[in-house]
Amino acid sequence: MIRIEKLCKVYGSGPTAIHALKDVSLEVRRGEFLVLMGPSGSGKSTLLHLLAGLEAPTSGEIYLDEMPITKMSDDQMTVFRRRHIGFVFQFFNLLPTLSAEENVALPLLLDGQSMKSARPKAVSMLERVGLGRRLNHRPDELSGGEAQRVAIARALVFEPSLLIADEPTGNLDSRNGEEVLSVIRDLARQFGVTVVMATHDPRAAEYGDRIARLRDGELVEEGTIPVERKAVR
Amino acid sequence: MKLLELLRRLSVPYIARHRLRTAVTLFGVALGVAAMTALRLAYEPISRSYQIAVKRLAGRSSIQISNGEIGVPEELLDEVRRVPGVDVAAASVRGYVRLPNHPGERLYVLGVDMLDDQQVRDYGDEGVAKMSAPPAAPAEKPAAGSPAASAAGAQGAPASGSGKLLEVEDPLVFLAKADSVALSPEFLRENHLEVGDTIEVQGSSGRATLRIRGTLDSRRGVGSLFGGRLALMDIFAAEKLFHLDHRFSQIDVVVKPRADIERVAEAIAQVAKGRGVVQAQEASFQAAKALLEIEESNTTFEAFGAMVVGLYLIFNTMLIAVSQRRREIGILRSLGMRRWGVVKLILVEAGALGALGCAVGVAFGIGLARVMSLPFVFRLAETRIPVAPAKIVVDVGTLVLAAATGIVGALVAAAIPAYEASKVHPLEALRPYARPGELTQTADQGERYWTAAATGLALAVGSFVLWLEGRRLIGEYRAALVAMAGFLVGISLMVPLMVRAFARLAEPVLRRSGIALAALANRALLSHMGRTAITTTVFVMCFSFVTEVGAAYATLSKTFDRWFNALFADTDLIVSAGAATLHPTTTGLPDELAEQIAGLAGVSGASALRLAKVNFNGYLVDLVAMDARAQNLDLVDGDRAVVASELSSGKGVAIDERLAYNFGLHAGQVLMLASPRGTVSAPIVAVVHHSENFRDMGAVVLDRRVYRSVWGDRTVDLIEVRLKPGADAGSVMKEIRTRWGDKYELFITTVGRFKQQTRREVERDLAEVPPILAIALAIAVMAVVSSLLAAVLDRIRELAVMRAVGATRRQITALIVLEALIIGLGGAFLAAGIGVAFGYYQFAILSRSLNGVALVYSQPLRVIVLASAAALMLPALAAYLPARQVARLEVSAALASE
């Protein structure tokens, strides 16, 4: 479903150039939960940004459902991202001026839907993440765990084929972290969404099906997570 | 690290990196400083220059006897000379002449009796006597007061020394010939003339040819007045030139040593018996000074506006700077810098920029002072004594004031941004992205808006009360200025609450409208209400000014129409001498010309109008003498026919509402006017509407036959021609031009064109408005754009998130443009309301109380609609480019900043 071929990303040029990704090739099957691990600066976030089309690779290609996304124009990529890719950030990145419901409805609104038609979907998604009673709360009125669940609802409201999560538990305590990971895994299964998640946390990795390790921009290890180590909750 | 070291290492690089913003800040400081500097520099030198001009023209004299353009009878001179305490009395004739062969040039003629005059005015060490090259034997004694008498006297005067201010080749010829004139070398050089040449001049009596027989030193003494455009000639030749029938313009009196000036003046007044107004020279200077103070007060109001704008620009740029540097400030805080340290850093930065802006402001202010002083110099030239534009001298006091204005202004404007900066939490450096509410206060600030609005309302009401009550204490004019400033600030304080109410009302509408972006834009504005409110306030003030200017134009125009249409109701053609009809410096025409024109084929009648300046209570007021035109008077109240009959039978005079207001007069009272026949008692039979000009002191209207018999003046300024039905205006104009055009240098026009020309004069007073309007619009747009820029910088992460969840660049652009559009929409509504209210207050209420003139208030709907459309569209258009730029942000970089 996702095919990454010889992906390179270089920031800057000359002797000060930083090679964030070096010839990374990878495949992720539809519905698979891939965990990207590696120390800081290993290239995890860069890979996620390239996957989401937030920036362009220096070389290499990314195919989503056999569609080469690096060939798309900015507008095409934006619309593609809106409809087919959900993104969950470490720091939630909810718009502070909008309520939970409005934050979740945002991608639908940006797609031209009215609030009237977007609302039921947003409410339904918030109910799925257990926040049916927090619809009108603003981000500053939510706990960290709740805010991240709103972010997950926002990422899935379009029922995308790919969910990208960048350190989704990095800003949460362990209990809330586990809750968030469970929500991601369960909803991904329900919707048949492919998940690519970057994390430092080995316990978070247990929620995935497969691990890919990066170091200094290179893919150094790839493998499935043994069943006995998988999180069961 | 010391504060200055921080300034050098952090602030200077930041300032250097953001040159445009630094330039805007400097412009803000410079604008305020320039306004204050110009205010200080513009009027003081004119006042000084005017004082010097008055003193040079007055010479040693300390009392003057005059009566505006009417002048004083010749016989008064000898009577004055006999008054105890009078040492010397010298008469003069003064007035402008045009030069037909030198278009655009005019000369101020000073006609004097040379012998008398050198005892009063400064003509150099040797006086007129030095003119005499070869001493000649006295000839037969000519009649006293004649040019020849002057010449004879000159011969007898001592000749010694070398400080010549008046130089002639042959003094005997100069004094003996009535056509002699002395001019400045500069004037001769510029007009390619030399001593011995003749020069054509156009006076009230028609053209005259003068021969240049001398030169005047234009650097010193009398010759230094009028910027070298002074013509010195014999008094009787000048009298003839100006069609003054045995009248002098003025008599100047030198009192004997140790004589009491006031007592001598009283004694002269008793002798004059109203044939002239006796005034100490000082009083004349004080009257001009009062005029100057009014000008200064007007400009103070404009300078106040410039200061507010300057402060706003500094405030906004500093706010942006703080938004951009939150991380840097957070790092400083996390490293141990106290809140007060942050405040100091921002304030010192602002103070340094303020100091830099001062230098620019002072230079700009000097130029501005020159520009500001010119219109007033012209007005003085028209109504009193022409003074050369004064040299602008920058003194220490001005520099101190400029520094204080710039630096203190910058500090005041930077206070709120500095306070905002001090609230930056150290966590913003350690944990760059924190949830809203975690680090900063987001409590509802509604209470603050209510407090501000209540304060504003109190201020506006207080201003009104001050205007009603305070005028007794500080004077009508000052009270009105203070009240208007208070009203303006009061309204400004109310705007934030109105903006919030508008945005809150708009929100459900926008949400329901299905335009998701508009709702988002409105929400963004609501969430940064403080900044939105300040921006909208500036925006509203600028656009309400536009609406108000529209009212000013329409009101003055309608008032002018009322005045003009009433006065020239049935006139077809206007005949005057020179293009500047009814201008104070025009030369008059002999009144028999009206009778001659009336006799032409195609003309059913011609009547004349004389507009003369006369002294009344120490001020120059207009005396309007009309031929059978009383029925055209635009009465404030009363019956036209009755008033017309009373005026034409000489039973009384009418006064205009401005004179009534300035001197507390009303119908039924008796007016005492000076005339060559002595004091004239004139009952006031009616009050008429005034034209739109507030700079004059008012007018007395009377029948021209009465005027001619009492004041003995046969000169007229304007002849109104009425055509027979079917007569061709062009043919009649051609006929008048052929017969008298050259002789009197006539200007003949149709009443329609005359109206246009006069209207242009009215509009000249509003000439400064379009540039101010352009500045106001530019500031309004700049306010919105810079505010949006600050908002965008604050929300760069939010925008990046929006891009990440699927907002296209176009949508981001649209979002920001929509925010500008919402500010424009709210601003347009408020500006229209406030502009109309302020315009009505100013022109319908304040003008009557301030100027005594009931204007025909008019607020054109077209202006409101156009201003509202501009208010709506301009910010959106101006925001487009910055919005597009922001939409191109690097999403991953903006997100990675966490």
* CB–CB contact A54 B801 (8 Å): no
- For chain A, the first-to-last Cα distance in angstroms comes to 27
Is residue A122 one of the residues assigned to a domain? no
Q: What is the pLDDT averaged over residues B180-199?
A: 88
- pLDDT of B319 strictly over 70: yes
What residues contact residue B764 under an 8 Å CB cut-off, 6+ apart? none
Best residue of A40, A82, A91, A176 to probe chain B, by most B CBs closer than 10 Å: A91
Is residue A61 one of the residues assigned to a domain? yes
Tens of pLDDT along B795-844? 788 888 889 888 999 988 988 888 888 888 888 888 888 888 888 887 87
CATH of the domain at A85: 3.40.50.300
HSE-CB for B752 with a 13 A CA cutoff: 1
CA angle B863, B866, B872 (to 5 degrees): 135
Question: What residue numbers bound the domain in which A50 lies?
Answer: 2-97+149-229
Chain A residues in contact with B523 by the CB 8 A cut-off are: 97-98
Tens of pLDDT along B661-706? 888 888 888 988 888 888 888 889 888 887 656 557 788 988 888 8
Distance separating alpha carbons of residues B701 and B698, to the nearest angstrom: 10
Q: Are A84 and A162 in contact (CB under 8 A)?
A: yes
Tens of pLDDT along B265-287? 989 988 888 788 888 876 666 66
What is the structure's pLDDT at B897? Answer: 53
More confident call, A187 vs B500 = A187
Sign of dihedral through CA atoms B60, B63, B65, B69?
positive
More confident call, B389 vs B719 = B719
Is residue A165 one of the residues assigned to a domain? yes
Give the 3-state secondary structure of residue B890.
coil
For residues B635-644, one letter each, b for 16 or more C-beta atoms within 10 angstroms of the residue's C-beta and e for the rest, the string is bbebeeeebb
Tens of pLDDT along A202-226? 888 889 999 999 999 999 988 877 6
Look up tokens 């240098």; give the residue. Answer: B745
Is residue A131 one of the residues assigned to a domain? no
HSE-CB for A20 with a 13 A CA cutoff: 20
Chain A closest-CA separation from residue B803 CA (Å): 7
State both tokens at B668. Answer: 């039924």
HSE-CB for B866 with a 13 A CA cutoff: 12
Chain A, 53 to 92: residues with Cβ < 8 Å from chain B are 54-55, 74-75, 78-79, 81-83, 87, 89-92
**How sure is the predictor about A168, in pLDDT bands with cuts at 50, 70 and 90?**
very high
- Amino acid at residue number A157: V
Q: Are B194 and B579 in contact (CB under 8 A)?
A: no
What is the structure's pLDDT at B157? Answer: 34
What is the structure's pLDDT at B539? Answer: 80
What is the structure's pLDDT at B127? Answer: 46
What is the structure's pLDDT at A22? Answer: 94
Q: Which among A107, A118, A147 is the nearest to B435, CB-wise?
A: A147
- pLDDT of B151 strictly over 70: no
What is the structure's pLDDT at A232? Answer: 54
Look up tokens 């042959």; give the residue. Answer: B170
Tens of pLDDT along A90-126? 888 888 878 899 899 989 988 888 888 889 999 999 9
What residues contact residue A91 under an 8 Å CB cut-off, 6+ apart? A171, B433, B435, B898
Tens of pLDDT along B801-815? 889 888 999 988 988
- pLDDT of B84 strictly over 90: yes
Chain A, 133 to 152: residues with Cβ < 8 Å from chain B are 138-141, 144, 147
What is the structure's pLDDT at B381? Answer: 55
Q: Which among A74, A89, A110 is the nearest to B806, CB-wise?
A: A110
Is residue A136 one of the residues assigned to a domain? no
Distance separating alpha carbons of residues B792 and A154, to the nearest angstrom: 23
E strands along chain A, which residues? 2-11, 18-28, 33-37, 59-64, 67-68, 85-88, 162-166, 194-199, 210-215, 218-224
If you measure CA to CA, which chain A residue comes closest to B516?
Answer: A109
What is the structure's pLDDT at B870? Answer: 86
Q: Are B119 and B90 in contact (CB under 8 A)?
A: yes
- pLDDT of B639 strictly over 80: no
What is the structure's pLDDT at B440? Answer: 42
**How sure is the predictor about B300, in pLDDT bands with cuts at 50, 70 and 90?**
low
What is the structure's pLDDT at B387? Answer: 57
If you measure CA to CA, which chain B residue comes closest to A87?
Answer: B805
- Amino acid at residue number B46: I
- pLDDT of B39 strictly over 80: no
* CB–CB contact A78 B519 (8 Å): no
For B8, B24, B383, B661, the CA distances from B251, given in Å and listed in that order, are: 69, 57, 18, 31
Tens of pLDDT along B401-453? 788 878 888 888 888 888 888 887 776 655 544 444 443 444 456 677 888 88
Tens of pLDDT along B861-874? 888 888 888 888 88
What is the structure's pLDDT at B161? Answer: 37
CA angle B665, B666, B667 (to 5 degrees): 140
What is the structure's pLDDT at A194? Answer: 95
Q: What is the pLDDT averaged over residues A125-130?
A: 94
Q: Which among B511, B797, B806 is the nearest to A107, CB-wise?
A: B806
Complete DSSP assignment for B79-113:
HHHTSTTEEEEEEEEEEEEE-TTSTT-EEEEEEE-
* CB–CB contact B895 A110 (8 Å): no
Query: Which among B518, B496, B495, B494 has a CA at the least distance from the CA of B507?
Result: B518
- pLDDT of B623 strictly over 80: yes
Lowest mean pLDDT, pick from A8-17, B9-18, B743-752: B9-18
Q: Are B245 and B714 in contact (CB under 8 A)?
A: yes
| Summary mean pLDDT of chain B | 78
What Rg value do the Cα atoms of chain A yield, rounded? 17
Sign of dihedral through CA atoms B186, B189, B192, B194?
positive
* CB–CB contact B808 A140 (8 Å): no
- pLDDT of B486 strictly over 90: no
- pLDDT of A201 strictly over 70: yes
Is residue A107 one of the residues assigned to a domain? no
Is residue A67 one of the residues assigned to a domain? yes
Is residue A110 one of the residues assigned to a domain? no
Q: Are A182 and A145 in contact (CB under 8 A)?
A: no
Distance separating alpha carbons of residues B575 and B245, to the nearest angstrom: 23
Type and span of the H or E element at B263:
helix B261-272
More confident call, B485 vs B668 = B668
Question: What is the greatest pairwise CA distance in chain B?
Answer: 112
- pLDDT of B154 strictly over 60: no
- For chain B, the first-to-last Cα distance in angstroms comes to 28
Lowest mean pLDDT, pick from A48-52, A84-88, B6-10, B684-688: B6-10
Tens of pLDDT along B559-609? 888 888 888 888 899 888 764 555 555 567 888 898 899 999 999 989 888
Chain A residues in contact with B807 by the CB 8 A cut-off are: 78, 82, 110
- pLDDT of B72 strictly over 80: yes
Domain count, chain A: 1
What is the structure's pLDDT at A124? Answer: 95
Query: Which among B503, B494, B504 has a CA at the least distance from the CA of B452?
Result: B494
Best residue of B805, B808, B889, B892 to probe chain A, by most A CBs closer than 10 Å: B805
Distance separating alpha carbons of residues A99 and B884, to the nearest angstrom: 27
Give the 3-state secondary structure of residue A2.
strand
Cβ pairs bridging A and B (under 8 Å): 100
CA angle B658, B663, B666 (to 5 degrees): 75
Chain B residues in contact with A93 by the CB 8 A cut-off are: 797, 801, 804, 895
Chain A residues in contact with B436 by the CB 8 A cut-off are: 96, 138-140
Tens of pLDDT along B769-785? 676 677 777 777 777 77
- pLDDT of B847 strictly over 60: yes
Chain B residues in contact with A106 by the CB 8 A cut-off are: 802, 805
